[in-house]
Amino acid sequence: MLQQILIDNDRPQPLVEQIVSAIRNQIDDRVLRPGMRLPPIRRFAETQGVSRFTVVEAYDRLVAQGYLDSRRGSGFYVSTRQLAEPEAEDLERVERAIDAAWLMREISIESKDRVNAASGSLPADWMEEDAVMRKLRQLARDPGTRVTSYGTPQGFAPLREQLQLRLAECGVRVQPSQILLTYGATQALDLVARFFLKTGDTVLVDDPGYWNVFSSFRLQGFRLLGVPRLADGPDLDALEEILHREKPRIFFTQSVLHNPTSSCLSPAAAFRLLQLADKHDFLLVDDDIYGDMYAGAATRLASLDQLQRVIHVGSYSKTISGNLRVGFLAARADLARQLTDIKITTTLTSPEFAERMVHAMLTEGHYRKYLERLQTRLLRATERCHRMLDRVGLATDFEPLGGQFVWARLPGMRDTTAIARRALEHGIVLAPGSVFRANGQPSDYLRFNVATSSHPRLERFLAEALARPE
């Protein structure tokens, strides 16, 4: 029997989605079992105080998702879904791949009562939301804007031409034909992995590094080897030891404002890393999604290598809009063509409307001024965050360079997972260091978003937690 559903007209989530989510959860939790009949549309609408059209749409969506069966003249019933049992090995891999997904779920919950120090994004009021909305309205009125047709496989040509100019400012010489627009940086990294790797292959990653990429790679069955991250880049002595034992095909890394440490690659480390890549014949994928947040000149692998052994990845999700999901990769001409074919095979195209939107933002001149303000604001927030962490007794081993994150160590604590779980009980979301390890190893670090870590409740909680560790 369907349990009571709580519908709230004040929530931002549409009523249809609230009903769909509630019924789906009851089916997944086996409260509603296969074959059970749902309340008739009229009765459900009267009970919940919603329109019949809302209930019809909710039921139809659940039918489309395979949760309900519609029987003409009889009503709607919970579907008997025959799902194949996964192999034990596959199930274990999936569980290991999503073992950090709880963090993303907690980060994504929007509540004014929560302190989201673990967030991976800038707060909405830090970004140019008004400018984005204004440009969206302008594009919608432009008769040349295509909103119902597919874009081109490589992406909106004027944006690729603009990216050619922006990469040239970073010292990277590239043609528009070498640039592939993607659905965020995540798709760019996935395309590279799909093309070069297969289940069981060894992949080098930063340790600590970007946890969501780790989860994706583990889900695909790759074997991850973490290269320790130092203040000036990867620990190249440790990398050299790994290369004497292993034959990796790719090293996924970050040169500028590395996540989670906000460290930057030094010129000396970059030269030696490229020498090792040439000697041991592996590719370097440089994920540069935070580069625009850095104030000043930075060392990028692509500028030294000119895309011979480097694939450069970028995105505007962190600075313009996470909702638009516009990213790109730049590679050798032959690789760009091959990766475009992979994109066609998997997703056909990326959204041209969003690409047009980003192109308009980049070419109107406003974006550069916004970045200058953002960089200054991040530097000040980083300094405040460091002072707060010093007051409560957390150690910060990396010099503040700006950027979005501070990587802080809890002295005397082997694993920060327990304190992160405890913080949730107090309405505080922390990012434990273990989720940033290549294989989820324990860590005595926490990652803080400097833009969301200034709340007094956070400082009080950390001070009390360190004074009375459990």
Break the chain into its structural domains and give their ranges.
Answer: 15-78, 98-127+369-467, 129-366
Residue 81: which pLDDT band, with cuts at 50, 70 and 90? Answer: low
pLDDT for the residue numbered 380: 95
Q: How many CB atoms lie within 10 A of CB 89?
A: 9
Q: What is the pLDDT of the chain when averaged over all its residues?
A: 90
% of the chain surpassing 90 pLDDT: 64
**The domain 129-366: what is its CATH number?**
3.40.640.10
Whether residue 85 has pLDDT greater than 60: no
pLDDT for the residue numbered 101: 64
Choice between 80 and 15, residue whose per-residue pLDDT is larger:
15
pLDDT for the residue numbered 469: 62
Mean pLDDT across the stretch 166-178? Answer: 97
**The domain 15-78: what is its CATH number?**
1.10.10.10
Question: In this structure, what token pair is assigned to residue 350?
Answer: 């990326």
Please tell me whether residue 311 adopts helix, strand or coil conformation. Answer: strand
Whether residue 18 has pLDDT greater than 90: no
Residue 95: which pLDDT band, with cuts at 50, 70 and 90? Answer: very low
Instruction: List the single range of 100-114, 188-202, 383-397, 442-456 with lowest mean pLDDT.
Output: 100-114
Whether residue 215 has pLDDT greater than 90: no
What distance in Å separates the CA atoms of residue 39 and residue 45, rounded to the nearest whole number?
9
Question: In this structure, what token pair is assigned to residue 2?
Answer: 């369907």
What distance in Å separates the CA atoms of residue 203 and residue 265, rounded to the nearest whole number?
20
What distance in Å separates the CA atoms of residue 155 and residue 145, rounded to the nearest whole number?
14
pLDDT for the residue numbered 100: 59
Helices 101-108, 211-219: crossing angle, 10 deg rounding: 130
Q: Indicate the pTM of the whole model.
A: 0.79
What distance in Å separates the CA atoms of residue 143 and residue 458, rounded to the nearest whole number?
50
Please tell me whether residue 245 adopts helix, strand or coil conformation. Answer: helix
Do residues 16 and 58 touch, judged by C-beta distance below 8 A? yes
Residue 161: which pLDDT band, with cuts at 50, 70 and 90? Answer: very high
Whether residue 404 has pLDDT greater than 90: yes
Report the DSSP pairing between strands 68-71 and 223-230.
Answer: unpaired
The answer to whether the peptide bond before residue 260 is cis (omega within 30 degrees of 0) is yes
**The domain 98-127+369-467: what is its CATH number?**
3.90.1150.10
Please provide residue 297's backbone torsions phi and psi, each rounded to the nearest 5 degrees.
-75, 140
Angle at 404 between CA 401 and CA 409, to 5 degrees: 75
Choice between 88 and 31, residue whose per-residue pLDDT is larger:
31
What distance in Å separates the CA atoms of residue 446 and residue 431, rounded to the nearest whole number?
6
Whether residue 93 has pLDDT greater than 90: no
List the alpha helices (DSSP H) in 306-350: 333-347
Whether residue 264 has pLDDT greater than 90: yes
